[in-house]
Amino acid sequence: MVKSTHGEFRVALVKRGLSMQEVINHLAALVVEGDPALMDILDDIEVRKRDKHLKQVTAVDSETIFDLIENDMVLADSYEEDTDE
């Protein structure tokens, strides 16, 4: 958990007289019970994670494709120079 989020989370709980352990235990129990609101939140987190991963993969794939094209062009130029001689 990011330090700033941890701090703000802790403050919000302290204002209510709750500990992080109490809240996490309760949320975990609700997830196990299949609470619809929490299941929607988990679905949202899952989609965001998958989208983030796809964006990362797409960026890497784009770089790889451009590298392959560039290498192909260099090889083609080299081949043409060899055949011209």
Instruction: Return averaged pLDDT per consecutive 10 residues of the chain, 85 residues in all.
Output: 90 96 96 96 90 70 71 62 57
pTM, 2 dp? 0.58
How far apart, in whole angstroms, are the C-alpha atoms of residue 85 and residue 81? 7
Residue extents of the structural domains in the chain: 1-33, 36-85
What is each CA distance from 69 to 3, 60, 73, in whole angstroms?
43, 14, 6
* Burial readout 32-60 (b: 16 or more C-beta within 10 A, e: otherwise): eeeeeebeeeeeeeeeeeeeeeeeeeeee
pLDDT at position 74:
61
For 79, phi then psi, to 5°, come to -65, -40
